Amino acid sequence: MKSDRLLSILLLLQTRGLVPAGELAQRLEVSVRTVYRDVEALSAAGVPVYAERGRHGGIALLPGFRTDVTGLTADESRALFVLAARGAHSALGLDRALGSALRKVMAALPAPHRTAAEQTSRRVIVDPERWSRAERPAVDLDVLNTAVFADRRLRLGYRHSGTTEARTYTVDPYGLVVKAGVWYLVADHRGVPGLYRADRVRDATLTDAPVRRREGVELGDVWESLRRKVELRPADFEVTARVRVSRLDMFLRLQAAQLTGGEPVVEASGEWARVALVFTELLAVRALLAFGENVEVLSPPEARDVLAGAAAAVMELYGGSRQAPG
């Protein structure tokens, strides 16, 4: 609706100052010509808005002009209260600030929207933590957070997965990302982007040097590139297995990262269902032993050999009679 678009332009200008017409058009998904028509409509309504021509021009409000308007719809009001997800604000020390901000928003909401917003905070909980996860060590984000917002380089002592010793890196941070309850620092090391799990940072020191980010690159761009690299990494081999239908839901939940897509195919007997999985290394299939007799790997043969060898080792450990210690 045009009224929503006019309000969006007004709020963007209040927040950003001078904004190029092309950027406004892109954000609002309209043409630049439409943006200029909207600017004329705002001016006709008494809003002191003007356009600066030229290479560094754009749309702006006269200095000092502010309007106390939220313009929130009912759904927008509810969406703000869903933002109060557990964990993220606590880790950043913003729990009290979030509560205070939401109370202020509640007071500013139009009266008809307040009940729906309040109900949302009581009826919807967003919990980013996965089921059955191991207890994670406490994470101190203070120095990482300071570096991100102060635009300073960081010196990290960082322990990679599978190693015991920390290595030292000087990195240029783009920002912080929390995914499934795990915090990551997104940063360049010598111009190469990388992900650094906050719970593997052994020490972090803020340097006096300003950050050196690649020109025109934002956190969202780097995160998308790194995320796709992790999710689309080639699998070494595919595995076909069958799972007892009585355990299928649990299996699908716990092995979600290995599933290749597509619905499980239930066999004619109705007792078993076939699934396709991918693993990045052969020995990783040993994780399927946790399901005991409820999962059988059908192919490839080398995966069956790995499981048979692991099962035989377990039988040797527990199968024979052993003298009790002492």
Cα distances from 228 to residues 223, 225, 234, 293, in angstroms, run 8, 5, 11, 35
Q: What does the alpha-carbon distance between residue 23 and residue 33 come to, in Å, rounded to a whole number?
A: 12
**Amino acid identity at 324:** A
Torsion (CA) 60, 63, 64, 67 in degrees, nearest 10: -10
Q: What does the alpha-carbon distance between residue 120 and residue 111 come to, in Å, rounded to a whole number?
A: 15
Per-residue pLDDT of the chain (326 residues), as tens digits, is 577 788 788 877 876 788 898 888 888 889 988 988 988 888 888 888 888 877 778 898 888 776 655 566 667 666 666 665 555 676 677 767 777 777 767 766 767 777 887 777 777 777 777 665 555 565 678 899 899 999 999 999 999 877 888 999 999 999 999 887 788 999 999 999 999 999 899 999 999 999 999 998 999 999 999 988 877 766 568 899 999 999 999 999 888 888 886 789 999 999 999 999 988 888 999 999 999 999 999 999 999 999 999 999 988 888 765 555 54
pLDDT at 247 (0 to 100): 94
Half-sphere exposure of 253 (CA within 13 A, CB side): 8
Distance of CA 137 to the CA centre of its chain: 19
Q: What does the alpha-carbon distance between residue 272 and residue 170 come to, in Å, rounded to a whole number?
A: 52
How large is the angle between the packed helices 111-123 and 74-82, nearest 10 degrees?
30
Structural contact between residues 141 and 92, judged by C-beta atoms closer than 8 angstroms: yes
